[in-house]
Structure 1
Amino acid sequence: MTPSCQLYLISPLDVGGAFPDRLREALGAGPVAALQFRVKGTDQHEAARLAEPLQAICAAHEVAFIVNDDMALAKRLGADGVHLGQGDGDPREARALLGPSVQIGVTCHDSRHLAMEAGEAGADYVAFGAFFPTTTKEVRHRPDLDILIWWSSLFEIPCVAIGGITPENGRPLVEAGADFLAVCGGVWNHPEGPAAAVRAFGEILSQPAA
């Protein structure tokens, strides 16, 4: 049985070196729905080279491989999906390029309006955040839990909570209706390693809703 909320990993910016082994460790520790491949400042050829081993590890663990920001790279890799920021193009454009079966996610910050627009444009999920302080990216938007309650009560399209989420603070997001917790530092920077982090997240995701 799939839990009501699932773990969605976001890669650190440095995915070379030992990262493939760390990813394998994380995915072997418990259920993970997806990995978002997020690199910045590399050309497409280098990004594709870095993505190849990670995509293979995800496939072996039946974890969706989602490319951040770049529709062309997602097409080149045959990725399972693409995640679009507000400046990265329209979901309709991504659908036309990538086909009907690819997962398309859209960053909606703290905006109900942007989320409804994304849903109308064919997004497969919408992402709200940052819910907590994070060092992964600059935070300009801080939604309340109410946005998750509102979205999950009105719409069928899944919602993702993102931003500074840890095993210690994530449970209220689950209870508010998040379908996925998107996590970067909470897993890769965990003091006991990524496997321990995935197991800890598994505990809060498997608890029945209050």
Structure 2
Amino acid sequence: MTPRLYLVTPADLDIDSFADRLANALSGGDVACLLVTDEGRGEAASQKLVERLVPIAQAAGTAVLLQNDTRTAGRCRADGVHVDSGTEDLARALETFRPDGIVGVGDLRTRHDAMSVAELGVDYVFFGLLDQSEEPEAHAKTLKFAAWWAEVFETPCVALAGASMDSVEACAATGADFVALRGAVWNHPEGPAAAVNAANAILARHSLSVAEDG
């Protein structure tokens, strides 16, 4: 099974122009999910942004998740939330969005943390820290956690790649269900569509290679 792309919005996005950048990215190929991160822009600005992004993404078959914002997600008919702000917020998100919406969880620092939240019935676990500055390659701990998880557990996992497109292959090799990209897409010299196309090509080649080896 080919891993799918999971895009993370850039930290410095411009509300007025990002909708066009997203549409461009999604024109480049399959994207399973878009995570709209919380950058302290405020509730009104967040709602304005998400109201513009949701129809664009959903028309392309891409789910939209909001980071730690159940209120805006509900108002804007987003597909769910990504929680990395603690167990109380996770419990609230599960109560609000399950069973029809998506609830994923991040900021997992230990194996015990990951196993504990999986037992609550989350839809995915996310390995990699969104609040750290991006390096070219995926963090070694991210790869280690994702490989362990993919081998042992059924709950899907996301592995956060680095700022380099080359890091997609390393994340795919862990067996993760999704590979998350941020700067590698939004800062690609040929534009977001070319980046999504290139990332999907890497994922497809990886899956073909695994199938042939098997």
* Aligned partner letter, 2:41: T
| Structure 1 residues 191 and 135, CA gap change in structure 2 (3 angstroms) | farther
**Cα gap change, 1:185 to 1:123, in 2 (>3 Å):** same
Q: Distance in 1 between matches of 2:45 and 2:154?
A: 37
| 1:4 correspondence with 2:7 | no
Structure 1 pair 144/60, CA: closer, same or farther in 2 (3 Å)? closer
Q: Evaluate the alpha carbon distance shift between residue 16 and residue 108 of structure 1 in structure 2; reply closer, same or farther with a 3 A threshold.
A: closer
What's the counterpart of residue 40 of structure 2? 41
Normalising by structure 1, report the TM-score. 0.88
Q: Deviations over 1:113-145 (max 9, x none)?
A: 1110110112100011159xx6359xxx85153
| Distance of 2:79 and 2:61 partners within structure 1 | 11
Q: Is the 8 A contact 1:130 1:164 kept in 2?
A: no
- 1:185 is aligned to 183
Partner of 2:174: 176
- Please report how far the alpha carbon of residue 197 of structure 1 lies from its aligned counterpart in structure 2 after TM superposition: 0.6
**Structure 1 pair 72–89 and aligned structure 2 pair: CA distance change class (3 A):** farther
Task: Work out whether residues 145 and 176 of structure 1, in 8 Å CA contact, stay in contact via their aligned partners in 2.
Answer: yes
Gaps of 5+ in 2: none
1:75-133 CA distances to partner (integer Å, 9 max, x unpaired)?
Answer: 222210100114374433212122311111111434211110110112100011159xx
**Correspondence for 1:25:** 24
Determine helix, strand or coil for the equivalent of 1:91: helix
TM superposition shift of 1:176: 1.2
Residue matched to 1:123: 122
CA distance in 2, matches of 1:9, 1:143: 20
Q: 1:42 to 1:4 in 2, by over 3 A?
A: same
For residues 129-167 of structure 1, the C-alpha deviation after alignment (integer angstroms, 9 at most, x for no partner) is 159xx6359xxx851533222111111111101152532
* Equivalent residue, structure 2, for 1:198: 196
Alpha-carbon separation, structure 2, partners of 1:169 and 1:21: 26
| TM-score (norm: length of structure 2) | 0.86
Where 1:105 maps in the other structure, the secondary structure is: strand
User: Which letter does structure 2 place at the counterpart of 1:151?
Assistant: W
Identity of aligned residues (%): 38
Query: 2:6–2:32: 8 Å Cα contact kept in structure 1?
Result: yes
- Would the aligned equivalents of 2:161 and 2:179 in 1 still touch at CA under 8 Å? no
**Which structure shows the bigger proportion of residues in helix conformation?**
2
* Amino acid aligned to 1:173: C
SS at match of 1:8: strand
Amino acid of the structure 2 residue aligned with 1:172: A
Give 4+ residue runs of structure 1 displaced > 4 Å after superposition.
none
